[in-house]
Amino acid sequence: MARLERIAVGRVSVDLLFLVLHGAGLTAGESCLEARRTVKPREYRPVEVFTLSGRLGLRLKGGLIERPAEGVAHWLASGLGIFSKQVERYTVGEFLERFFRFLRDTRLQNILMVELDYNPVYRDKTNKTKDDLSDAITAARKYLSNHNGAENKVLISALGKTKMDPMKDLHLTVEGQYYRKHGFGKPGLELRVTGIPSVLLPRRKETKIDYKARQAGLARRLNDARKLASFRKGCEKTFGVVLRDYAAHLEGVFDVDLTEKQVSSWGSIP
């Protein structure tokens, strides 16, 4: 009460401020500091790592069709394709030489695996150089030279990367599968491609702290639905270019009758 009686006209605002702060147990400096502490920076949700998947199915020219020669089986094979087998013109050795050319032309020289009839011929090595296509070719040729040439199935997996705008760049996993003899009406060669935006993946020798900081910055840049949709659209266009390029190269090294192309929906990596 004594303090209230001392309030003069010229000091009303100053003393009232003192009373308010004194009643709260704070000084003016402490009040400003407390206010600054309560302001938190806005947190943005990190962009989820998503994938694009596509498939090319190539029906090759020059193959043969095997059917039963007589009886009901012959009738079913001739009319409905049941019991029919399609035999492609390329032996496994011929296919490998052509497919290795495709891998070299498209810079898919980081080989993960080569299998012939489910037998591992070449596997990814932890201490390898970045490009090991030549090693894979040597291993496949050596395997074929030691066998009777009756191989039927080929499976090859490789890694690649586009060289485009950083926000549209993709890391690629490519898997090629070939059957010399297979069911009637099916493509002899299939190529499955998976793409992941490079900007969403850790860089080589990047620490976890640096990766998280970079992803936080990306989340700030793509902080609304329109920007995120534009980013995804750019990646989708890049993936379409990749599939068309792969189809053109395969049609250049194989005698192709028809190429089927399919792109799957978006998928997320948990």
Per-residue confidence at 106, pLDDT binned at 50, 70, 90? Answer: very high
How far separated are the first and last CA of the chain, in Å rounded? 66
Q: What percent of the chain has pLDDT over 90?
A: 58
The CA distances from residue 191 to 27, 68, 125, in Å, are 72, 31, 23
How far apart CA 151 and CA 138 sit, in angstroms, is 17
Q: What are the tens digits of pLDDT across the range 14-32?
A: 444 444 444 445 455 555 5
How far apart CA 134 and CA 143 sit, in angstroms, is 14
The radius of gyration computed from the CA coordinates of the chain, to the nearest angstrom, equals 32
What pTM value is reported for the model? 0.78
- The one-letter code for the residue type at 11 is R
